[in-house]
Structure 1
Amino acid sequence: MLDLTAKADVGGVKFDGIDLFLYNPHTDIDISDDGIKALAAKIKAKGLVVGSVVAPVWFDAAAGGDTAARANWVTHVRKAIRIAKKLRELGVRPYGVVRIDSATGVTAWDKDPKGTTKLIAQSFREAGKIAKDNGERLAAEGEICWGGMHSWKHMVNLLELTAMPKVVGFQADMSHTHLYTLGANAEAHRIVPKNYHYEPAEFHKAMTKLTAALRPWTIDFHVAQNDGSTYGSGSHEKTGRHCLATDPKGKLNIARDSGYWLRDGKGKVTKKMKHICWDGCMFSNEVLMKQQTWNDILAAMIEVRTNHGWVG
């Protein structure tokens, strides 16, 4: 994957770096200091840097679970913060956040919405204090499969309850947040009308309302494409389906619609994001091993930067 990233080229423009998933077989969450040094050297040798890192907060953990699950959740975030900080100290990570989510299913959350949200906020605050002490920030990725985060209103409520705006914020993924407008896992919070067929005026109205609520909390951004469908796998509840950058079924105009997040309500670039990342992990190995896949993604990201980037 590092080779495919490093080899991607569009008119002489290349990727600046990568975000890291801190879980085997990618990067072990319990990696040693020497292992982190070796990883940093390997990434640097490819001419790349590291941006955000993903804390593996699932499996034996849940921010809204029982005492043991919550403790495990905080432990996984603490370990991710350690790696992120070390990479920063090694000079290979100039920006980025630690990505989190509630790791609590919507079905479980539904049994006690207020109580579970309170526990999730408590876990977020505990991890937030660790992040703050280590010079890091946490960003909750808004996916419709995570309880307490499965609608735009629930997400805003959770962030407000956590009440650490300078440390714990929102990671906006273009695919997942698109599903927020459709009320995919929370019909009561649907923004678009029921007979919606992606009419430009309705789409604009929905995205404007969505981003007005969540943009102030947004500290990390995923460029992505989505066709309006959802999928679920195993214990992973219904969530947004990522599409290839060139997918003809994609409902988003990536270069244009990223502006809803990267510009304020008056159209001015917010300058809050120092890097943007492509999130599109739901592809087959066959597709991911094609260099053209990576070049197409890079081309889409260049368009986003051209339209909404900044220098300073």
Structure 2
Amino acid sequence: MAHSLPKLHNAMWPGLVGKEEGTENPPISLDRMLELTAQANVNGTRFDGIDYFLFLPHTDPDASDDELRQIADKIASHGFAVGSLVAPVWPGTVGDSAMGDEESRKKFLTAVEKACRIARIFNEHGVRKYGVIRIDSAEFGVEKWREDAQANTKKIAATFREAAKIAEDNGERLAAEGEICWAGMHSWRDMLNLLEEVGMPQSLGFQADLAHTYLYLMGYNAPEHALLKEGDSEEAFWDAYKKMTDALRPWTIDFHVAQNDGTVHGTGSHDKTGKHCPADDPNGKLDIVKCAGYWLEGAADRGIEHICWDGCMFPNSMLETESTWNTILGKMIEVRDAHGWDS
């Protein structure tokens, strides 16, 4: 059955994350990512909008109001809305580790403030009417976190609470990205512990990605929290998937459709992360449509109005291929037809 919601978005950051100048996979400009997204067409259905990483070379987090309005005009000229925004919280952008020293945590909060400012300008422009601001702990890897896991989780939570208050004051919600590379967020159990420690569900929730959360099941960076092991039956998989999604779904306010082949992948500074695969990858471990349903149950009640495809770290040759985007869009339509709703 065709539904009008959730709206279907494509992420712009696959043109940036893991890309390096002077390699076979240099950054892809915002203009080109918009063009590639706009070209996708499945029986007359197109992407409704984009989700957007607020950092160079796509966007200067300190761009003037007029420069940001020009970007909004550019996005709108393709008929796109802007949905969720990614705050530039990483070291090397504006921010720094949420479990770092006072100066690092101050930088993290500054990144959230800058994201809220850009969100306000996009909202006032009219190009953005829904979506959240995505954050993570900005602490790559879990080794330092493990030195004092309980204290470090409390430190991240304290930073997140301050960030959530900033978002509240700006009429925004934050979504913490569940991914195995982020300290304190690297397993389903640790992610849940962190969300509960923050304790501000009205302002800070969870951003679920099908590719990343698959590796939560396997306990890649937290074997003690594994729900599944290689060779387990299909029945065991769905039992494990239900346990994980039942725990995290009530917190889920942002959702990425993706595929994973069960391996870990990374390039550049963004290493050891869940591998995103093409929607039709023959090695894909996920029934995308069925898995999406576990996360999207009750999504409208949690304020979700769009879903986004994440093809982070696809090689440029794949991103530049028209059929890649038509296949992705077709799978997104299947997800909406199976689990969507109407306004």
TM-score for both structures, normalised by structure 2: 0.87
C-alpha deviation, 1:56, in angstroms: 1.6
Tell me, yes or no, if structure 1 residue 115 matches structure 2 residue 147. no
Task: Point out where structure 1 has 5 or more consecutive residues left out of the alignment.
Answer: none
TM-score for both structures, normalised by structure 1: 0.95
Residue in 1 aligned with 2:128? Answer: 93
Tell me, yes or no, if structure 1 residue 250 matches structure 2 residue 284. yes
C-alpha deviation, 1:153, in angstroms: 0.7
Letter aligned with residue 296 of structure 1? T
Report the RMSD for the aligned CA atoms in angstroms. Answer: 1.4
Residue in 1 aligned with 2:162? Answer: 126
C-alpha deviation, 1:170, in angstroms: 0.1
Contact 2:267 2:313 survives alignment (8 Å): no
Contact 1:224 1:245 survives alignment (8 Å): yes
CA distance in 1, matches of 2:122, 2:220: 37
SS in 2 for 1:18: strand
C-alpha deviation, 1:301, in angstroms: 0.4
Residue in 1 aligned with 2:137? Answer: 102
Percent identical: 58
CA distance in 2, matches of 1:189, 1:214: 14
Contact 1:230 1:239 survives alignment (8 Å): yes
Equivalent runs, 1:53-72 vs 2, <5 Å: 53-60=85-92, 61-72=96-107
Residue in 1 aligned with 2:342? Answer: 311
Letter aligned with residue 100 of structure 1? I
Residue in 1 aligned with 2:112? Answer: 77
Letter aligned with residue 70 of structure 1? R
Size of the aligned set, in residue pairs, is 307
From 219, 226, 237, give the equivalent of 2:253: 219
CA distance in 2, matches of 1:306, 1:270: 18
CA distance in 2, matches of 1:256, 1:106: 31
CA distance in 1, matches of 2:226, 2:301: 26
Distance 1:202 1:110, change over 3 A: same
SS in 2 for 1:52: strand
Letter aligned with residue 216 of structure 1? P
Residue in 1 aligned with 2:30? Answer: none
From 201, 210, 234, give the equivalent of 1:165: 201
From 230, 252, 268, give the equivalent of 2:264: 230
From 302, 315, 318, give the equivalent of 1:284: 315
Letter aligned with residue 283 of structure 1? F
Contact 2:90 2:97 survives alignment (8 Å): yes
Letter aligned with residue 82 of structure 1? R
CA distance in 1, matches of 2:316, 2:276: 15
Residue in 2 aligned with 1:300? Answer: 331
Q: Deviating runs (4+, > 3 A) in structure 1?
A: 232-237, 268-272
Letter aligned with residue 93 of structure 1? R
Letter aligned with residue 255 of structure 2? F
Letter aligned with residue 112 of structure 2? V
Contact 2:142 2:182 survives alignment (8 Å): yes
Contact 1:142 1:172 survives alignment (8 Å): yes
From 186, 190, 208, give the equivalent of 2:222: 186
Contact 1:85 1:136 survives alignment (8 Å): no
Letter aligned with residue 180 of structure 2? I
Letter aligned with residue 265 of structure 2? Y
Structure with the larger RCO, 1 or 2 (CA within 8 Å, 6+ apart): 2
Distance 1:288 1:134, change over 3 A: same
Contact 1:185 1:238 survives alignment (8 Å): no
Contact 1:121 1:162 survives alignment (8 Å): yes
